A and B are shown apart, each in its own frame.
Chain A
Amino acid sequence: MTDQHVPDPVSGRVCAETDPETGSETDPETGARPASSPRQKEQKGQDAGGLSPLDLGDGRYGEFGGLFVPETLIPALQELETAFSTAWVDAGFRAQLDGLLRDYAGRPTPLTDAVRLAETLGGPRVLLKREDLNHTGSHKINNTLGQALLALRMGKSRVIAETGAGQHGVATATVAALFGLECAVFMGEEDVARQALNVVRMQLLGAEVIPVSSGSRTLKDATNEALRDWVATVESTHYIIGSVVGPHPYPGLVRELQRVIGTEARAQCVASTGGDPSGVIACVGGGSNAMGIFADFLDLPEVRLFGVEAAGKGLESGLHGASVQRGVPGVLHGARTMLLQDEHGQIKEAHSISAGLDYPGVGPEHAALAASGRATYIGCTDAEALDGLRLLSRTEGIIPALESAHAVAALSRLVQEGVFTEDDTVLLCVSGRGDKDMDQVAAYLDLTGRA
C-alpha cells in the first residue's frame, strides 16, 4: 500500500483563506504547473517527499480488470497511467489537489453521529460519512478534481464524461469550468428525463450535454458513447471516467482519488469512538464511493465491509442492477468484471429507481472483493431504498440521494437480522444528497399513497 497523504481530518473543517485571485479561477497553464500556483503556498509545511512511487500493478484484481479496448486507446491509457503514477508522488501535485479538496470541495467532510437513526433502529452506533456535503453534492468531485489536474498535466484541452444520475456529469462540468476546459457529458435519454435538474446544472456550468438514444438509453449506453467519442478525440481529450470501472488504469486511479473518504472517516471514527468501526456500508453502482470508503479498511479483517447493490423490483424479478450477486464474469467497457448478461453474452439492461445504480456492470475490484469474500454484497429494492430515504430524512434531517438511500436501507435490514448489535459501530457512506431526486421521489410516494 502506498503511504497516504491527506490533511489531518481530525483537525476539523477550518479552511484556509481563499485567495480572491485564485479562489474561483485557475489558469490552465498555471494549473498545470503546481509549483507556480498560488494555491500551493497554502500548503507550505506539508511534505510529500516520503511517498513511494505509486504502482497500480497491471490493473488485475484476481481474475477481473484488465484493459479491453480498441488499439487506438492503448497509448492514451499508458500515458494516463504514467501521468497518474508520477503525479501521485509529486508533492506539488498532491499539495494542489489537497488544497482544492479543502478550499473548493470542502474537505474534510464531517462524520455525523446519527443518534436518532441509531435509536430508531435499536442497534449499533451509526456514523455517517457526509459526502453529500461536498461541493456539487456528492463524492464525485473527489475524482473529477484529481482527473482534471491530470488532464492539465497531460496537456489535454477537453474532457468528456458519462453520467447516470448526473452527479458525475455535474462534478465534471464543475471542474471543467474551474479550469477552463471544454466539456461534453454523455447521458442516456432516459436519465436526461429523470434527472432534469442535473442537466440544467451541467448546461449552466458550460458543458454540452449529449443525450444518448442507443440501447437502454441509460448509463451503460452513455459510457459506450463516451468511449466512441474518445476513440476519435483521444489526442486532445481526457476521458474522466466517473467510477472504479473501465480499463486499467481507471479502476485503481479512481479508487486512489476516492480513498480520501475512508482515510478521513477512519481517523474521524478513531477520534470519536476510540477505535475502528465494526462495519462499513456503502452503495455500489460502479462502486466508487464504496471503493473509496473501503480502501483503508481492506487490510483490517475485523472490519466487515458491505456493498449495497440495487435490487430494483427484487433480485428474483430480473429487474435490478445487482451485477455482483446475479451477474456472471464478462467484458464490458474495457474491463473483465461481473456483468448482467444473457446466455449468449449480450449485455442486459439494468433496472433501478436510482439512475446512479442503473448499470449492468461493477468495478472489477468489487468483483474480486466479492470473489475473495473480503466484502459482502447485498441488494436493496426500489421500495426499500425509498423507505431508507424517508428514514434518514425523518430521523436525522438528512435527505440522501436515492443511491445512498440503498445503504441506509441495508443498514436497517442488517440490524433487523442481528448482523450489527448495540456493541457495534457502523460507518455508513452518504455518498450524495437527495435534491436531484425530489421530483421522482414525490411521484413514487404519491403513487404508493404514502406521502
Chain B
Amino acid sequence: MNMLAPQTLSHVLDENRQRGRPSLVVYLTGGLPDLTTTARLVETVALAGADAVELGIPFSDPIMDGPVIQAASQRALTGGTTPEQVFDVVREVSGLLPVGLMTYANIVGHMGWNRFAARAAAAGATAVIIPDLPLEEAESWLLAAQAKGIEPVLFVAPTSSDERILKNAARTQGFLYAVGTLGVTGERHALADTVAALTVRAKALTTKPVLVGVGVSTPAQAAEAAATADGVVVGSAVVRRVLEAAGPDEAVETVQSFVGELRAALDEVAQPMSGPAFDAACELCEAARLTPWFHEDDLCWIAECEACSVPIVVWRHHGLPAPADEKAMLARLGRVAEGRFGEGKWFVDGERRQIPDHWHAHARWKWV
C-alpha cells in the first residue's frame, strides 16, 4: 500500500463543509500551455488555496465546453498531449491535493472503463468527471471506478427534476456537481439566478457536498455561489488567464494571484467553527432520544423539542454551520413542519435562547 495515498475529494470537501468552509476546486486543461507548466500550475493553485484540482484530458469535440476551454483543448492537442501524459502529470502532483480527472466519454471508453479507472488510480487521481456520461450510460463506468477506488462525480442541472437530483446524488462521490447555468462552460458577467434555485433544491435532497460549476467567473461570484452551495468549481476564468499569458512564468503568476483572490473571497463567507465538532457538555451534541425523531441524516436531525413540543432541527456538529448547510437544514425542517402544521401555517424560529453555540431552529405554528 502506498504510504502517500492521496486524500480523496470526499475527505477534503466533507471536512470543509463540516468546518463551514466553502470548497474551491480549480479546473486546468492538461497540456496547456505544456505539460511541465501544467504541473507547475497545479502546485501553484494548491499553494494559493485550492482544495482540489480538476485536470482536463483534452478531447477533440468537447460539447459541454465554451470557447475558452475549446481553445485550450485544441492548443493542448496540437501540442500533442495524450491521456498518458496527463496521467504522468497527475503522478507528479497528486501528493499535494486531491486531483480529479475531467474528460469526455470517448476518451475513457476508448481506453476502456476498467483500464482508464486503473490507470487514473495508479497515477494517484482520486476522482473522475465525465460530463457526457449521464446515469443512463454510466453503470459500467461506476462499477469500474468503484473497483479501483476512483470517485465518480455526477451532475445535476437547472433542468433536473428532484427525482433526477436524488438519483445522481445517490451515486455521485466526492461531490455533486451542480451546473450553475443553462449553457456550456465559460465566463459570465453575473452569477445566474439558477444557481441559488438549484443548489438550495439539491442541498435539501442530499448530504453530500454540492459544488457549483459553469459560469462562476469572479471572486465575488464564487462568494455569492457559496451562500447556497458548499463550494465552487472555477474553470474558464482560470484557463483564460493561462491562454492569455505571455509565457509559463506569467501564467503561473497570474493564476496564483487569481486563485488567491478566489480563496480570500470564499474565506470571507466562511463560518469557522469555534472549538471542536463535539462538545461533551452540550445537550444538543448528546442528542439523547427523549422524544420522537422525525428525520435524521449526516447533516442534521429533527425531533420533537422537549421543552416546546414543536419540531426542532439540530445540526450534527457543535457550533455554527455555513450558510448553505443552514439553508439545507431549514428546508428539511420545512418538510416536517408542513406535515405537522399544514402548508403556510408555520414559521421558523431561529433564535437560540438556551444553547446559542450549537445551531438549531424551531418550526412553530403560525396563526393564520
Contacts and interface: CB of A to CB of B under 8 A. Distances in A.
Contacts of B82: 344
A262 to B, nearest CB: 30
A232 B105 contact: no
Interface stretch (A25-33, A64-72, A271-279, A418-426): A64-72
B220 interface: no
A18 interface: no
Interface string B149-179: 0000011111111001000100000000001
Nearest to B177: A71
Contacts of A220: 61
Contacts of B179: 70-72
B78 to A, nearest CB: 11
A72 B157 contact: yes
Contact of B105 (A68, A75, A76, A214): A68
B133 interface: yes
Nearest to B130: A68
A345 interface: yes
Nearest to A334: B132
Given A75-B159, A231-B182, A68 B60 contact: no
A75 B161 contact: yes
A228 B214 CA distance: 13
A330 B74 contact: no
Interface string B182-213: 11100000000000000000000000000000
Given A68-B134, A70-B179, A71-B156, A346 B77 contact: yes
B143 interface: no
A319 interface: no
Contacts of B245: none
A71 B161 CA distance: 11
A70 B63 contact: yes
A232 B180 CA distance: 11
B60 A215 contact: yes
Among B60, B62, B111, B184, the most chain A Cβ lie within 10 Å of the Cβ of: B60
Interface string B78-120: 0000110000000000000000000011110111000000000
A336 B65 CA distance: 20
A332 B164 contact: no
Contact of A330 (B110, B133, B158): B110
B183 A346 contact: no
Given A69-B134, A72-B179, A215-B61, A344 B156 contact: no
Among A72, A233, A331, the most chain B Cβ lie within 10 Å of the Cβ of: A72
Contact of A341 (B83, B106, B133, B159): B106
B136 A234 contact: no
A441 interface: no
A67 B182 contact: no
A231 B184 contact: yes
A214 B77 CA distance: 13
Given A66-B136, A70-B64, A331-B105, 19 more contacts: A67-B136, A68-B137, A70-B134, A71-B160, A72-B157, A72-B182, A74-B164, A75-B159, A76-B159, A215-B61, A224-B62, A228-B184, A231-B63, A232-B182, A232-B184, A331-B132, A332-B61, A333-B63, A347-B106
Interface of A: 66-76, 214-215, 220-221, 224, 227-228, 231-235, 330-334, 336, 339, 341, 344-347
5 contacts: A70-B131, A71-B157, A234-B159, A332-B106, A346-B60
